Structure 1
Amino acid sequence: GGAAPRLLAVAVSCQSCRHKATGDGGHGQPREQHPAAPGRVGGQPVPAEGADTKTYLWARYHEMKKLVYDLLPPGVCNLLNPAAIYANNEISLGDVEIYGFDYDYTLAQYSNLLHSMIFNTARDILIEQFKVMSVNCNNNPILTVNVYPLSQSLLMKIDAFHYVQLGTAYRGLKPVPDEEVIELYGGTQHIPLYQMSDFYGKGPSLKQFMDIFSLPEMTLLSSVIDYFITHGIEFDQVHLYKDISDAIRDVHVKGVMYKWIEKDMEQYILHGDEIYAVLNRLVNHKKKLFLITNSPFSFVDKGMKHMVGKNWRDLFDMVIVQADKPNFFTDRRKPFRKLDDKGSLQWDKINQLEKGKIYKEGNLFDFLRLTGWRGSKVLYFGDHLYSDLADLMLRHGWRTGAIVPELETEIRIINTEQYMHSLTWQQALTGLLERMQMYQDAESKQVLLEWMKERQEIRSLTKNLFNPQFGSIFRTFHNPTYFSRRLVRFSDIYMASISCLLNYDVNFTFYPRRTPLQHEAPLWMDQLCTGCMKTPFLEEMVHIR
């Protein structure tokens, strides 16, 4: 009657066919080969005698559609928890003795108002210093995982295999036709490795935008390019990118951003009470805490007093400001400098790092030598995959946690009925296309073309649910994004905010789910079942908010 018996029947049938073809007959001998079952050719289904292929294909289509909708129970939505922590690598918090944190967008989460303020101030710098005419902010959200080829003025999204996701390339605020993108890259969507890769993602001709602080820069870049193109103003792409990048940098370096936040912390800083709860809980369980940030002490001090209280430094064993990450992790030359309680520099030579004291600059090698904090007993959290996490994981063996604020919004979209049904049917339709392409008569080809068109429409729909221009930060249509590839490589766990730690015991072990490789799930139905229904212990996890 229900979906489960039909699933079982499919699984048993497929298992039986597989053993007939390749199974072991005992003692390592091949099983006797049997003729294909009636109604199958080479293991593939065929129409019943006298039925035309077109009718047969549409019958399979409607049968599969009904099966897909029967598969999805009423509670299929809200399977994922936006406040959960997700594991790329197995890690037990019970083994972690020392917790380290970045400050901006890790301990301190900022409201979207900050992005508008950075945009407006950088725009004013461009007008004043570089005589760029006034441009308005583009209010459409832009992803933080895009790339920008300097010589082509394109903002676009790429997947884990360096392929541009067609339909996500923009010059200014206008989409670039797929044909033009393919022509720009020599008849392919592929971006060569040499253009985009050094260890920190800064290729010679392509800029990667990888953190949420990149939003104002991407928005300003798109808006200025659009203004120039609309008004017929010629410009050098490399010079324009540098000028905009410098304007954004000045907002940070000259302290303008710090003054806004310090003046109105209630408006800019989010979830401060939860940060105190996280830190206090860790200290009560005898964990050591440290902070390494590129921000200046006066700014961090005011923010931490707002979130945690005037005695916030009592929670930390070490506080390092203006660290100059990622150089902090690789450059041995800068020594630590001590600051007094007012933030003034001292001249002492640093032979030890004292609890409750504030240090400036320095380097990781002296940090390791003076603290002895090495390897997997250290867990460090940051929001930038390259500047915060890459060196620590790959060169020093620390455990790492990535803060991805966009994760919460994306999970809420994934949890909707529209997304779940669309994605499941897209997977089913893809499986049908793959299996039924054996039929090559004219009518069958027409059916397959209609299915391909529908599949593309569904792919566009699911993309637009996340962002009309660029889709999800974690996936192209089906492949992981370049960002996702780096997220998996550089972080053991990832979450929307540091407050997600409150949902887990301090000795909790995170186990990554085993997801099938392509050769481990050769039957599409297996992928459907394990892909959509793999969340175990749903009722037991309801308490995790």
Structure 2
Amino acid sequence: MTEARPLTAIPTTPATEQLVLPIEDFLSRPSTPGIVRSRRVFANRDMRMSGITWVGFDMDYTLAIYDQPQMDRLSIDATVDKLVRRGYPHFIVDIPQEVDFAVRGLLIDKRFGHILKMDRYKHVSKGYHGFRQLTKDELRGLYHAKKLRPATPRYHWIDTLYALSEASLYAALVDALEKRGQAVDYAKLFTDIRECIDEAHRDGTILDAVVSDLPRFVHRDPDLALTLHKLRSAGKKLFLLTNSRWPYTEKMMTYLLGGAMVEYPSWRNYFDIVVVAATKPAFFQERRPLLERIVSERDEKVRPATFPLERGKVYEGGNLHDFERALGVSGDQVLYVGDHIYGDILRSKKESVWRTAMIIQELETEVHAHQACADDFEQTLHLEDTREHLEDDLRFYQARYKELSRLIDAKPTGNGARLTELEAERGRVKRSVERVRGLLRAAESELSVLERRIDSRFHPFWGSLLKEGTEESSFGAQVEEYACVYTSRVSNFLAYSPQQHFRGARDVMAHEQGG
């Protein structure tokens, strides 16, 4: 065994001594693989897992990671079938569908039939009508003259993976109906789509298809059980809080966790409390009663829950106030893990002090695209720096041109040579202005090419999920504001200690950047 090297002290004042760590030795060690970036847990703000007593989980799109293209095709087919039954023309069954068209964070304008993407300041920067991209002039004329108010009946947010099929189908139908010369009531069309897809969920058209072929629609994560076991082994208590009803929850959770570890005879053994049909976000806002679901082979019924809540039982409904009382801990000792920016993350953060972890299934693709754009990002920064210097030069030459013009207009008397000299210099300055403007146009043009190329690497229609131009997208801003940490899947926590201190990045303001 190598003897540890002692820390050496630098002589200072008697009151303080500064220790020098052997940093050079540390840096000289061979690097370790670490955690692949696409599977990391990213922190928006500091969170100490050592202070977390309870960890709660949503089920759909959180513990259960769905195959998105398969789910979108299923949802679209079921919705189109119901639209035809409502009287829509039969040809819509055969129109091309772009199942990869939509991303989360989009806004549907039901007045004009547009689908929009905004940055964090509600500035509309991209938009489509059907599958035709709106021009900058169209966007400016409709959305830049006055403040956009998304929280009105005119607009509808697409903020869940579940809702992507609605936006894709809406764009396809607007496109197909208008190409056939049919007048489209954009608001009614979207309402009909929403009602039909909700009906397809209620009557079992979609859920029955999923349950009948779970391997087709759901990815079974082999590390999920180990992740939950690791948290339990560290003394954390776990709860499941899902909007899904009991029959679907039972089948899905059995598929995800059943038989995964011999220590757990049933998936219910992983959790200390199980709550189904929670109706989030109402769970965080209203005072609905908590019920106990009596599950037996012969019958199922519900009755008012009694406290304390018991491990092994199944509960239904409920509300934040009663649930926190049942947990017996203060809010910041609870970490809730979910995928829905509004129902799981935003509302729990606004109505409680629960810590929040958001599962962003698209994050792995987002990280890979970001890494693939490394050279383009570097070139973009270089061009932006060049542009800033050129703008400084332009301001200097324009100010000098105005100064020279004032001197020439004053017509200095008795000194023709001086006037000729001033006019010659003004000519040189004017040429410099034109040269710098040309360089600026070239830099702007190259930046536009880079931005389009970067966007296409993230998503062919909308670019990055979490960014829009140089700003965060409206979706990215919500993730930053309401999610304490975020990651692509629950099992990513397996690589971290259950006592991990997640540290948020240092905020940097504009005046602190650069040299």
**TM-score range with shorter-chain normalisation?**
0.7 to 0.9
Cα deviation code 1:19-53 (max 9, x no counterpart): xxxxxxxxxxxxxxxxxxxxxxxxxxxxxxxxxxx
Residue of structure 2 aligned with 1:129, choices 60, 70, 86: 86
- 2:53 is the alignment partner of 1:97: yes
C-alpha contact (below 8 Å) 2:291/2:302 kept by paired residues: no
> Residue 230 of structure 2: SS of its match in structure 1?
helix
C-alpha contact (below 8 Å) 1:339/1:360 kept by paired residues: no
Cα deviation code 1:63-102 (max 9, x no counterpart): xxxxxxxxxxxx9xx9970000000010111111110000
Match of 1:380 in 2: 336
The structure whose residues are more often strand, as a share, is 2
- 2:267 is the alignment partner of 1:307: no
C-alpha contact (below 8 Å) 1:88/1:492 kept by paired residues: yes
Distance 2:41 2:374 in 1: 21
Closer, same or farther in 2 for the Cα pair 1:330/1:424, shift >3 Å? same
Q: Which amino acid aligns with 1:280?
A: H
Residue of structure 2 aligned with 1:144, choices 104, 109, 129: 104
Deviates more, 1:404-413 or 1:262-271: 262-271
Distance 1:191 1:323 in 2: 35
Q: CA deviation at 1:119?
A: 1.2
Match of 1:420 in 2: 374
Match of 1:178 in 2: 136
Closer, same or farther in 2 for the Cα pair 1:170/1:379, shift >3 Å? same
Match of 1:364 in 2: 320
Distance 1:349 1:217 in 2: 37
Distance 1:483 1:322 in 2: 26
Q: Superposed, which structure 2 residues align to 1:79-478 within 5 Å?
A: 81-112=37-68, 113-133=70-90, 134=92, 135-165=95-125, 168-185=126-143, 188=145, 191-192=147-148, 195-197=149-151, 203-309=152-258, 311-341=266-296, 344-348=300-304, 350-416=306-372, 419-437=373-391, 438-439=393-394, 440=398, 441-478=433-470
What percent of counterpart residues are identical? 25
Deviates more, 1:477-486 or 1:363-372: 363-372
Q: Which amino acid aligns with 1:414?
A: H
Q: CA deviation at 1:432?
A: 1.3
Distance 1:131 1:414 in 2: 42
Q: CA deviation at 1:208?
A: 1.2
Cα deviation code 1:90-136 (max 9, x no counterpart): 01111111100000000000113122111111111111124243233
* Count of aligned positions: 434
Closer, same or farther in 2 for the Cα pair 1:358/1:341, shift >3 Å? farther
C-alpha contact (below 8 Å) 2:305/2:315 kept by paired residues: no
Match of 1:508 in 2: 500
Closer, same or farther in 2 for the Cα pair 1:130/1:367, shift >3 Å? farther
Q: Superposed, which structure 2 residues align to 1:47-62 within 5 Å?
A: none
C-alpha contact (below 8 Å) 1:336/1:363 kept by paired residues: no
Q: CA deviation at 1:247?
A: 1.3
Match of 1:8 in 2: none
Cα deviation code 1:118-159 (max 9, x no counterpart): 111111111112424323322443212211111111111100
Q: Which amino acid aligns with 1:170?
A: Y
Q: CA deviation at 1:235?
A: 2.1
Q: CA deviation at 1:504?
A: 0.4
C-alpha contact (below 8 Å) 1:79/1:415 kept by paired residues: no
Match of 1:517 in 2: 509
> Residue 303 of structure 2: SS of its match in structure 1?
coil
Distance 1:466 1:258 in 2: 30
For structure 2, the 5+ residue unaligned runs are 1-30, 259-264, 399-432
> Residue 346 of structure 1: SS of its match in structure 2?
strand
C-alpha contact (below 8 Å) 2:335/2:356 kept by paired residues: yes
Closer, same or farther in 2 for the Cα pair 1:414/1:79, shift >3 Å? farther
Computed over aligned residues only, the root mean square deviation of the Cα atoms, in angstroms, reads 1.9
Q: CA deviation at 1:366?
A: 1.5
Q: Superposed, which structure 2 residues align to 1:5-44 within 5 Å?
A: none
> Residue 381 of structure 1: SS of its match in structure 2?
strand
Q: CA deviation at 1:337?
A: 4.0
C-alpha contact (below 8 Å) 1:374/1:396 kept by paired residues: no
Distance 1:392 1:79 in 2: 29
C-alpha contact (below 8 Å) 1:80/1:415 kept by paired residues: no
Distance 2:220 2:232 in 1: 19
Distance 2:35 2:115 in 1: 33
Question: Could you list the runs of 4 or more consecutive aligned residues of structure 1 that deviate by over 4 angstroms after TM superposition?
Answer: none
Distance 1:503 1:141 in 2: 33
TM-score normalized by structure 1?
A: 0.76
Distance 2:129 2:35 in 1: 38
> Residue 61 of structure 2: SS of its match in structure 1?
coil
TM-score normalized by structure 2?
A: 0.81
- 2:499 is the alignment partner of 1:492: no
Distance 1:224 1:405 in 2: 27
Match of 1:530 in 2: none
